[in-house]
Amino acid sequence: MANYYNVIESQKALESLLMKKMTEFEKQLKASIPGSNVSVAGLYDEFNCFKDHVWSILSLLRQQISDLNQVVDNIEMRHRRKYLLFNGVPEEPNEDLSNSISDICNNKLGIRDVTKDKIIACHRLGKHSEGKHRPVLVRFVDLNLKTAVWKKKASLKGSSFVLSEFLTHQRQSLFLLARKRLGMKNCWTLDGNIIAKLPDGTRHRIDTEESLSKLTVNTDVTAEAPSSGNQDSSSGYNSKPKRAVRAKK
């Protein structure tokens, strides 16, 4: 993903530099036109034609990169479907996170099917910071169990725990933007998809910033201020999950 983002930045830098140079050349060309000099005027027309051609190529390149971005993001999100982030789990020396997560699922969510052997991977994200509890990334044995846990997230309301999906960097940014524009209560995620509810009661899936903009053009929604209660928003951690280490038989 790092190489992909480098390509995007390089494309933006190249586009910016090219447009800057063309603008400078256009200014020089205009300044050098001696009245009604036909040859220079023809050169100016050729320059405009060239500029339009370059712009069409850059637009096509931008669209291709955007399409590639969507494909890569979908693949990455598919890989994360069995993961959930548990926020607010107290950190303890020599902690048994799998046991802590299964206790939360059993006692707080009422899902007795979650046992330690149903958790493939379980570890904290980020660097340790005194006084703060790092989120716990959990990978369940199958998608059905993960979905069952996710659907019970409302049971954590009022507790210190917050449950969120493990979104990619792109979806996390889009999700936060959607909540900012449409309101926190009007946006949520399900299986990595961003869902928005409009004032007329209709629900829409948001895949890109363009699709979000189309929804908000004629939508009169006042975004609420962020609350401190339990929300199903992602905590902002979107690094790649570690591979699970299986015990030798």
| Residue ranges of domains in the chain | 2-79, 83-165, 169-217
Top CATH class, 83-165: alpha beta
Sequence-distant contacts of 190-194: CB under 8 A, at least 24 apart: 190/150, 191/81, 191/147, 191/165, 192/77, 192/78, 192/80, 192/81, 192/165, 192/167, 192/168
% of residues, the chain, pLDDT over 70: 78
- Distance, in Å, from the CA atom of 185 to the CA atom of 182, rounded to the nearest integer, reads 8
Which helix (H) or strand (E) element contains residue 170? helix 169-182
Q: Which pLDDT tens digit goes with each residue over 144-186? A: 999 999 999 999 999 999 999 999 999 999 999 999 999 999 9
- Give the neighbor-by-neighbor strand order of the sheet with 162-165: 119-124, 136-140, 83-87, 162-165
User: How many residues are there in the chain?
Assistant: 249
What type of residue is 142?
D
Examine the pLDDT at 13 and tell me if it is beyond 90.
no
Using an 8 Å Cβ cutoff, are 86 and 163 in contact?
A: yes
* Statement: residue 33 has pLDDT above 60: no
The stretch 36-51 carries a mean pLDDT of 69
- The pLDDT > 90 percentage for the chain reads 49
